[in-house]
Structure 1
Amino acid sequence: MNLNITGRHVEVTPAIRDYVSTKLDRVIRHFDNVTSVAVILSVEKLKQKAEVTLHVRGKDLFVESDDADMYAAIDSMADKLDRQVQKYKQKMADHNHEALKHQEPEA
């Protein structure tokens, strides 16, 4: 898995880099088909913003979150991404079961 962290108008310190990677490890633990992750951290006046694009086989998941604190924005982003990954994983599992139900039984 490739992890790319970019800062817009903010310096990405090793502490922030470690914090983002630990939060994303929790999300990626749920779903192992992740090919790459792109994180963009930005500051606009008093708003701290965190965005992530998660590339999985067949789909890209995008989440953004903003807050007054960068760490709070990262936490919120990780929670939203976790919910989206679980929803996508469940949807993929449901489709696989539907395909098995519609197969003709072999005699």
Structure 2
Amino acid sequence: MIKFNIRGENVEVTDAIRAYVEDKVGKLDKYFNDGHEVTAYVNLKVYSDKRAKVEVTVPAKNVTLRAEDTSQDMYSSVDLVEEKLERQIRKYKTRMNRKPRNAVPTGQAFGDEFAPLDQADEVTEESSEIVRTKHVALKPMDAQEAVLQMDMLGHDFYVFTDADTNAAHVVYRRDDGRYGLIETE
């Protein structure tokens, strides 16, 4: 069963909007096993230029599903987000079903909250094929130096070893042009 946490920024979450979100995103319930409660965090934003942004995050046991869409119509954005989340679930489950049976069982990889995937629901994804492998030496540095290295290479992300903690971290360029840092534990 999917529980909903719906929040609005610059928009009042009316009963009609709440019902539409719960109806659309609630369709994903068929991909989860009975008895497992999953919470869908829905964030609705309306910008000054009347564009609406819909973000949905569904944290499961070993995977977090997330999709967002921005358009002039909030309802069409909800539709597109639901389709994106459904594709993600089918893609992940198909990938796990293709692994050898003695590898990681689907229940362990994605949590036992996911229901089995029917053969008819499988997705073929050639885009997930690894076509190139790179080997890099992780040089100890701070995050600012990693950003400089990333910019010099013209990449959108850069993996490095933090000089202080000796842990692997990732810096990346966000869609808004600023930078993000992923710290590992």
- TM-score normalised over the length of structure 1: 0.82
Distance apart, 1:90 and its partner CA:
1.8
With a CA cutoff of 8 Å and minimum separation of 6, indicate the structure with the bigger relative contact order: 1
Partners of 1:92 and 1:60 lie apart in 2 by: 15
Partners of 1:62 and 1:42 lie apart in 2 by: 16
Change (3 A) 1:68 1:97: same
Identity of aligned residues (%): 36
Change (3 A) 1:46 1:85: same
> Does 83-92 or 41-50 show the bigger shift?
83-92
Change (3 A) 1:96 1:18: farther
Change (3 A) 1:55 1:26: same
Distance apart, 1:43 and its partner CA:
0.5
Greater helix share, 1 or 2? 1
Distance apart, 1:96 and its partner CA:
6.4
Measured against aligned partners, the alpha-carbon deviations of 1:69-103 in whole angstroms (never above 9, x if no partner) come to: 11011111111111111112223333462528xxx
Alignment pair present for 1:13 and 2:14: yes
Alignment pair present for 1:72 and 2:73: no
Alignment pair present for 1:92 and 2:96: yes
Partners of 2:97 and 2:42 lie apart in 1 by: 27
Residue 154 (structure 2) aligns with: none
- TM-score normalised over the length of structure 2: 0.49
Alignment pair present for 1:27 and 2:31: no
Change (3 A) 1:91 1:31: farther
Change (3 A) 1:9 1:97: same
Change (3 A) 1:89 1:59: same
Greater strand share, 1 or 2? 1
RMSD: 1.9
Q: Which runs of 4+ in 1 moved over 4 A?
A: none
Residue 109 (structure 2) aligns with: none
Residue 44 (structure 2) aligns with: 41
Q: For structure 2, which runs of at least 5 residues remain unmatched after alignment?
A: 105-185
Partners of 1:67 and 1:6 lie apart in 2 by: 18
Change (3 A) 1:92 1:35: farther
> Which has more radius of gyration?
2
Residue 105 (structure 1) aligns with: none
Partners of 2:37 and 2:87 lie apart in 1 by: 15
